[in-house]
Amino acid sequence: METGTFPKFPSFLFFIHQHFTTSTASTTNISPPSITNGGFCSNYNNLHSVADAVASFNQLLSIRPLPPVVVFNKLLGSLVKKKHYSTVISLCKQMDLSNIRPNVYTLTILINCLCHSNRDHVHFAFSALGKMFKLGLQPTHVTFGTLLNGLCSKAKIIDAVKLFDEMGKMGFAPSLITYTTIIKGLCKIGHTTNALQLLKKMEEKGCKPDVVAYNTVIDSLCKDRRVNEAMDFFSEMVDQGIPPNVVTYSSILHGFCNLGQLNEATSLFKQMIGRNVMPNTVTFTILVDGLCKEGMILEAQRVFEMMTENGVEPDAYTYSALMDGYCLQSQMDEAQKLFDIMVGKGFAPSVRVYNILINGHCKSRRLNEAKTLLSEMYDRDLTPDTVTYSTLMQGFCQAGRPQVAQKLFKEMCSYGLLPDSITYSILLDGLCKHGHLDEAFRLLKAMQESKIEPHICIYNILIQGMCNFGKLEAARELFSNLFVKGIQPTVVTYTVMISGLLKEGLSNEAYELFRKMVVNGCLPNSCTYNVAIQGFLRNGDPSNAVQLIEEMVGRGFSADSSTFQMLLDLESNDEIISRFMRRSS
């Protein structure tokens, strides 16, 4: 595979490459031999605590002559099984200070522990590999596989690829596990195409991919929304005699659901059952969630029932997916029933579950119920997050109660929750839509003081608020300042500003701005054309209106119902409009 684009790898690997004798490379997995002499046959797996292990280690150090290294390895191995990685690292240092010569197995254990350490000790793992070579020891596939796993787990995928390539130069033919480790790593950082190339290279080298390798690539393709390619690999997999499993089907189902292709998803689900691959909780949850997101709540309900009928237990994610479906359809009583069933089954409701219910109540204008749920969260010792408060604030703003939203904002800040740009956008929009412009600008100032830089959507909200409430001069000034700040207005910004100018009867200035937006590289959309045309018609400027209609049609847009109605109303009274309508009919 091509690796020339990756950064230079640690230089000690070149030392390793120079000092490695390809002809003597061993590919045998090394395991500690059984100790049957000298009284070192203790079963270290039965040690009850780290303290017991350390005591046993110190006892070994006190024996003269020192026991063979394999005895120490056995003790270290028992600690690794219990995931006491930091203890093993410490004991290895003591072995080194005691001049106990490690073997390949000792250093492989150390590499494994360094890679699993909570601290970033992977570079020390490379040092351990370098020591192995300096001592004339030959690493095994297990050694390299351990280090590759460590690099991938610490998101050092590029380094893992470089080590993989060095292994080849040293004469190590990569194993199935090695290939799969690198494929997983590449997929993890979004290099799906490189992973595909490596899978093909793997086949060319005579190493047959297994279901795990295929699943890894298929899942990554689906996450990249390349579901058709994933299906091609699915077919290839079946042709190669590798039966797809529940993970394969779940990945592709997720891909189809994310694209809204529910017909394909349900068809694949039926195929899965037809091939006697039993869906698990994850599979069912994916399908329930996909159906709910497309508004197919009855179908989602049937899948949920099928799940329980087949003895597959729903988890908290399944319940929350179906709950969200009910909420999206404003079926709040059904959502509440499901919530009660979930709690009755022993699932503790999470912040996410409460956020789903609060959102549903807000969309259904049941704001008192939504606020009661906020109190219930605190009663359950659950800390609401920014999403919880933002959802409630939006609900009250949309109901015309921005003052309540402001109180929620203050409450949120008093609990130490930091509002994000979405929170500020929601509250600013509520204040501006109800004419509380002074308060909106005070909030903008607070936002800037919090080191959150307003984006163009924030400015669009403010400009629209000022235009709607007769503050055109202030809107003009804010619009002009965008260019000073280096913020590029969007088509929404221009449309709002054009609408504001036309509302004040400034047709010429509005027309100039319409033309200027194109010069500035921002093309008008259907909404811009319709807003401008309606404004010109209201201001008694049919000539510009007709010109823009013809231009709009030429660009593939059409008049909306309001524009069309205005044209019909003016047809009998305005000669220009009358001629245009006759020409168009």
- pLDDT of 346 reads 93
- pLDDT of 385 reads 96
Model pTM above 0.75: yes
Which pair of tokens denotes residue 330? 């404003």
Find the length of the chain: 585
- pLDDT of 9 reads 40
Residues spanned by the domain of 495: 489-584
- pLDDT of 551 reads 92
Question: Given its phi and psi angles, is residue 357 left (phi above 0), alpha (psi -120 to 50 degrees) or beta?
Answer: alpha
SS (H, E, C) 464-509: HHHHHCCCHHHHHHHHHHHHHHCCCCCHHHHHHHHHHHHHCCCHHH
Residue 295 lies in a domain: no
- pLDDT of 171 reads 78
- pLDDT of 585 reads 60
- pLDDT of 411 reads 96
Residue 471 lies in a domain: no
Residue 541 lies in a domain: yes
Domain with residue 515: its CATH number is: 1.25.40.10
Q: How many CA atoms lie within 13 A of 367 on its CB side?
A: 17
Could you report how far apart the first and last alpha carbons of the chain are, in Å? 63
- pLDDT of 578 reads 76
Report, in angstroms and rounded to the nearest whole number, the Rg of the chain calculated over CA atoms.
33
How many domains in the chain?
1
The alpha carbon torsion through 45, 48, 49, 51 (nearest 10 deg) reads -90
- pLDDT of 582 reads 67
Residue 572 lies in a domain: yes
- pLDDT of 45 reads 67
| Ordered DSSP codes for 304-360 | HHHHHHTTPPP-HHHHHHHHHHHHHTT-HHHHHHHHHHHHHTTPPPPHHHHHHHHHH
- pLDDT of 466 reads 95
Residue 417 lies in a domain: no
Per-residue pLDDT of the chain (585 residues; tens, 9 = 90+): 443 333 334 444 443 444 333 333 333 343 443 344 444 545 676 677 888 888 989 999 999 899 999 999 999 999 999 889 999 999 999 999 999 999 999 999 999 888 887 766 777 888 888 899 899 998 888 888 888 888 887 778 888 888 888 887 887 788 888 888 889 989 998 999 999 999 998 888 888 999 999 999 999 999 999 999 999 999 999 999 999 999 999 999 999 999 999 999 999 999 999 999 999 999 999 999 999 999 999 999 999 999 999 999 999 999 999 999 999 999 999 999 999 999 999 999 999 999 999 999 999 999 999 999 999 999 999 999 999 999 999 999 999 999 999 999 999 999 999 999 999 999 999 999 999 999 999 999 999 999 999 999 999 999 999 999 999 999 999 999 999 999 999 999 999 999 999 999 999 999 999 999 999 999 999 999 999 999 999 999 989 998 999 899 899 998 899 988 888 878 777 777 777 776 666
Residue 187 lies in a domain: no
- pLDDT of 584 reads 64
Buried b (16+ CB within 10 A) or exposed e, 4-35: eeeeebeeebeebeeebeeeeeeeeebebeeb
Residue 556 lies in a domain: yes
Q: Give me the numbers of helices (H) and strands (E) for the chain, helices first please.
A: 32, 0
Residue 151 lies in a domain: no
Reported as type and span, the H/E element at residue 7 is: none
Sign (positive or negative) of CA dihedral 382, 385, 388, 393 = positive
